[in-house]
Amino acid sequence: MIVNMSDSATEQQIEHIIQRIREAGFQPHVTRGTERTIVAAVGSGGRRHEIEALSVAPGVDTVVAIAQPFKLVSRQTRPQLSVVEVGAARVRIGGPEVVVIAGPCSVESREQLLETAHGVKRAGANMLRGGAYKPRTSPYEFQGLGVEALKILREARELTGLPVVTEVMSTEDVDLICEYADMLQVGARNMQNFALLRRLATIKKPILLKRGPSATVKEWLLAAEYLLSGGNDQVALCERGIKTFETATRNTFDLSAVALAKELSHLPVVADPSHGTGKQSLIGAVSRAAIAVGADAIIVEVHPCPERALSDGPQSLDLPQFERVMRGLSEPLRSVLTPSQMLA
């Protein structure tokens, strides 16, 4: 941490900062410039927030943090990449191959889910997604079938062998969902629901942690830090788009953040092109891009009849579309123009 004094700071004010840095458990280190003085807080055992609060002490201009605030999720702490294993099938997210998770936004009925589960399996998916408890913007929208949906998901897993991931919205539902699902999803709107994160840190199931729509990569990693520091290191991050001024896509799919998260952290990263774009027609292209940029898995919404879906119809693929997207994933990248193709 660096405390940057203002041009007009007095000796007494500088002295006060030096003393406060000592109180906070750091060593102060003063650099006097021609115009201004900076005081560094050196050491690793001190209390960071006490230094941050000095930004309002007299004579202080700004306080700048140097070190990253996360620890256990950091690749500096654990250089080896983590792999998250899901379900009895031991699907490995973060292994050499890309994992494809597919299924409807919401479980709407037994028929709908089983048809989808069989269909996505046939097309090559490795895991099944489906919402039982739905976070809906309006109280008048479909809120999910709850425990009935969980039972249907379990049946689908038994029939197809695909491990199941489903969202948990409340601490009170954690135990119940753990009985049925192989992986629990923290939705984007709950990324900073710290009560939920603390509870999920104590369970033995892997977590899919979606990035909040206005969360920076740093905040996202700190949310994961809640899980790891609480005892659960079976965590996969999931980029699903952030909220920006652009409304032509539902969110702005931040694929650079996938590469950045993998640079900063050892945790595997999943990409969600369905929420990332909100548009059926773009999902094939951005799924390929997500894999190219380094995502360890993609999670895609598929519905037997998107125009009849109770939620997220506009971004859901039907089964033939999903099959085409899957085939697209194995096509080579377009090649670069070579000198022989240019005029002399």
| Sole binder of a second copy in the list 195, 202, 231, 320 (CB under 8 A) | 195
Q: How far is the CB of 118 from a second copy (least distance, A)?
A: 14
| Sole binder of a second copy in the list 89, 147, 174, 176 (CB under 8 A) | 89
With binding defined as CB under 8 A, does residue 212 bind a second copy? yes
Question: How far is it, in rounded angstroms, from Cα 156 to Cα 154?
Answer: 5
With binding defined as CB under 8 A, does residue 322 bind a second copy? no
Question: How far is it, in rounded angstroms, from Cα 223 to Cα 1?
Answer: 22
Q: How far is the CB of 152 from a second copy (least distance, A)?
A: 20
CB atoms within 10 A of CB 134: 21
Residue whose CB is less far from a second copy, 179 or 307: 307
Per-residue contact flags (x/-) with a second copy for residues 130 to 159, judged by CB under 8 A: -----xxxxxxxx-----------------
Q: How far is the CB of 178 from a second copy (least distance, A)?
A: 17
Q: Which stretch binds a second copy (CB under 8 A): 150-158, 177-185, 187-195, 202-210?
A: 187-195
Q: How far is the CB of 4 from a second copy (least distance, A)?
A: 5
Residue whose CB is less far from a second copy, 35 or 158: 35
DSSP state of 332: P
Tokens of 116: 């989808």
Q: Which stretch binds a second copy (CB under 8 A): 111-119, 150-158, 231-239, 241-249?
A: 241-249
Residue whose CB is less far from a second copy, 154 or 294: 294
Q: Which helix (H) or strand (E) holds 217?
A: helix 217-229
Question: How far is it, in rounded angstroms, from Cα 13 to Cα 240?
Answer: 47
Residues 6+ apart with CB under 8 A from 332: none
CB atoms within 10 A of CB 40: 19
Q: How far is the CB of 215 from a second copy (least distance, A)?
A: 9
DSSP state of 23: H
Report which of 252, 259, 256 is spatially closest to residue 273, judged by C-alpha positions.
252
Footprint on residues 261-320 left by a second copy (CB under 8 A): 263, 276-277, 279-282, 285-286, 288-294, 306-311, 313-314, 316
CB atoms within 10 A of CB 44: 7
Residue length of the chain: 344
Q: Which residue has the tokens 């990035």?
A: 211
With binding defined as CB under 8 A, does residue 225 bind a second copy? yes
Q: Which stretch binds a second copy (CB under 8 A): 108-116, 148-156, 177-185, 189-197?
A: 189-197
Q: How far is the CB of 331 from a second copy (least distance, A)?
A: 8
Number of residues that bind a second copy (CB under 8 A): 138
| Sole binder of a second copy in the list 13, 25, 43, 115 (CB under 8 A) | 43
Beta strand 27-32 with 2-5: parallel, antiparallel or unpaired? unpaired
What are the beta bridge partners of residue 238?
A: 210, 270
The DSSP secondary structure of 149-192, one letter per residue, reads: HHHHHHHHHHHH---EEEE---GGGHHHHHHH-SEEEEPGGGTT
Contact 287, 322 (CB under 8 A): no
Report which of 324, 338, 264 is spatially closest to residue 68, judged by C-alpha positions.
264
With binding defined as CB under 8 A, does residue 67 bind a second copy? yes
Q: How far is the CB of 104 from a second copy (least distance, A)?
A: 12
With binding defined as CB under 8 A, does residue 12 bind a second copy? no
Q: How far is the CB of 147 from a second copy (least distance, A)?
A: 15
CB atoms within 10 A of CB 304: 18
Footprint on residues 159-178 left by a second copy (CB under 8 A): 161, 169-173
Question: How far is it, in rounded angstroms, from Cα 24 to Cα 19?
Answer: 9
Residue whose CB is less far from a second copy, 98 or 209: 98
Q: Which stretch binds a second copy (CB under 8 A): 111-119, 147-155, 177-185, 207-215?
A: 207-215
